[in-house]
């Protein structure tokens, strides 16, 4: 007999639309009949991992594939803690920052609670909340940035966590140190504030805050970082959170140990210790590509939304999903933004000039046909 799924599955799970990841590159190239593919949809680092991490990956001893990793990323946590001047027990490593989002929501929220975030931001905060039966209050962006006043107004006694993406993916807007501190002061210590700094290493603005430096003043603050973007090991899935000792001690209860594999831990450690100028090279590449796209898109009279991070948004005169299909035929994969509440917009990762030129050529062709 088939299980009665209507009775078994909570309504908030039944009614949730699963996220459908894109097919593997080779399948997409067959499907769209293209011989090359520039991946400009996931904000990956086109320079790959730093040299030291590449070496670790190359030399990984195959027999170690049989051994479980350190269950709590012991040495990596030590290195991260030393770097930030924290206790290793203030650090929790996850299978991508994506996984630590779930740790935090599970640790603090129960049915009837809510989280507060923006409507157009990294969608995983909202998704994890909703499929866990937690209400997500999504506050419209203001001037393409997180609306602090609107978020504060949305707080009620059941609000457990506020998620701020700084800088915001996809708009590239950011809160200054002053603005973040004013927000933390206004929220008070009754609830958790998560600041997601997935693109921290890309930002070069003077007034951009290092959330980790605010931990001693705000013990309700939790900061996310990832090795997927600047450090170029998205394929190995590793990210982390830091927070106050007592707060992290609670979050640790909801994390499944051994979710971070051996190779990811070792590559992250090597990436973290890189001293070959990987960050500097990546920043220079992003700067050059952003300037190039700004100029080219202005020539095409296409409005853009561009700030920090290794991506920008382009507003198209028509459908973004149609543009996706047309550009795929040219071997360019961008992110259509309809599903992220930006109809007729696409997000493009800032990558090597060759890819940027191919993107502009494909976009021109798309607009003409």
Ligand X SMILES: *Cc1c(COP(=O)(O)O)cnc(C)c1O
Q: What does the binding site for ligand X look like in residue numbers (CB under 6 A)?
A: 96-98, 122, 165, 169, 196, 198, 226, 228-229, 234, 239
Taking every pair of Cα atoms in the chain, the longest distance, rounded to a whole number of angstroms, is 63
Query: What SS3 state is found at 29?
Result: helix
- Residue pair 340/334 in contact (Cβ under 8 Å)? The answer is no
Give the nearest distance from C-beta 115 to ligand X in angstroms: 15
Measured from the CB atom, the residue of 195 and 362 that comes closer to ligand X is 195
Give the nearest distance from C-beta 307 to ligand X in angstroms: 13
Give the CA distances from residue 310 to residues 17, 43, 195, 336, 347, in Å, rounded to whole numbers and listed in that order: 28, 6, 18, 16, 10
Measured from the CB atom, the residue of 239 and 331 that comes closer to ligand X is 239
Measured from the CB atom, the residue of 128 and 234 that comes closer to ligand X is 234
Measured from the CB atom, the residue of 29 and 279 that comes closer to ligand X is 279
Residue nearest to ligand X (CB): 96
Query: What SS3 state is found at 46?
Result: coil
Q: How many CA atoms lie within 13 A of 328 on its CB side?
A: 20
Give the nearest distance from C-beta 331 to ligand X in angstroms: 23
Measured from the CB atom, the residue of 259 and 366 that comes closer to ligand X is 259
Report residue 272 as tokens. 């973290």
365's CB contacts (< 8 A; 6+ apart) are: 326, 330
Give the nearest distance from C-beta 259 to ligand X in angstroms: 12
Report residue 333 as tokens. 């994969």
**DSSP label at residue 206:** T
Give the nearest distance from C-beta 125 to ligand X in angstroms: 9
Measured from the CB atom, the residue of 196 and 330 that comes closer to ligand X is 196
Give the nearest distance from C-beta 42 to ligand X in angstroms: 8
Query: What SS3 state is found at 313?
Result: strand
Please name the helix (run of DSSP H) or strand (run of DSSP E) that holds residue 129, with its range, or none. helix 124-131
Q: Tell me how many degrees the CA angle 326-329-331 measures, rounded to the nearest 5.
A: 115
- Residue pair 344/318 in contact (Cβ under 8 Å)? The answer is yes
Measured from the CB atom, the residue of 49 and 331 that comes closer to ligand X is 49
Give the nearest distance from C-beta 25 to ligand X in angstroms: 18
What φ, ψ does residue 56 adopt, rounded to 5°?
Answer: -60, -45
């Amino acid at each position: 007999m088939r299980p009665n799924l209507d009775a078994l599955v909570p309504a908030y799970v039944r009614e949730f639309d699963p996220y459908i990841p894109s097919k593997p590159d080779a399948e997409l190239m067959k499907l769209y009949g293209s011989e090359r593919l520039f991946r400009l949809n996931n904000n990956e680092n086109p320079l790959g991992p730093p040299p030291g991490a590449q070496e670790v990956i190359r030399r990984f001893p195959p027999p170690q594939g049989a051994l479980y990793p350190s269950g709590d990323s012991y040495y990596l946590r030590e290195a991260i803690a030393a770097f930030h001047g924290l206790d290793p027990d203030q650090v929790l490593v996850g299978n991508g920052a994506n996984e630590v989002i779930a740790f935090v929501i599970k640790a603090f929220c129960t049915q009837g609670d809510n989280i507060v975030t923006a409507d157009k931001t990294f969608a995983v905060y909202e998704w994890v909340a909703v499929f866990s039966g937690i209400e997500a209050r999504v506050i419209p962006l203001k001037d393409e940035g997180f609306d602090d006043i609107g978020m504060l107004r949305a707080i009620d006694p059941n609000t457990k966590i506020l998620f701020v993406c700084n800088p915001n993916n996809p708009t590239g807007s950011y809160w200054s140190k002053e603005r973040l501190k004013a927000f933390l002061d206004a929220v008070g210590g009754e609830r958790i504030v998560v600041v997601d700094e997935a693109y921290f290493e890309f930002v070069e603005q003077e007034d951009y805050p290092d959330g980790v430096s605010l931990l001693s003043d705000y013990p309700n603050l939790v900061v996310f970082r990832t090795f997927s973007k600047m450090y170029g090991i998205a394929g190995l899935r590793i990210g982390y959170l830091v927070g106050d000792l007592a707060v992290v001690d609670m979050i640790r209860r909801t994390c499944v140990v051994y979710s971070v594999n051996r190779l990811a831990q070792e590559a992250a450690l090597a990436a973290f210790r890189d001293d070959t100028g990987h960050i500097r090279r990546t920043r220079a590449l992003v700067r050059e590509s952003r300037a190039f796209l700004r100029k080219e898109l202005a020539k095409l009279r296409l409005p853009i939304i561009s700030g920090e991070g290794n991506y920008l948004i382009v507003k198209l005169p028509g459908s973004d999903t149609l543009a996706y299909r047309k550009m795929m035929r040219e071997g360019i994969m961008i992110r259509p933004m309809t599903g992220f509440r930006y109809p007729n917009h696409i997000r493009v990762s800032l990558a090597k000039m060759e890819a940027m030129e191919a993107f502009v050529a494909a976009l021109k062709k798309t607009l003409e046909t």
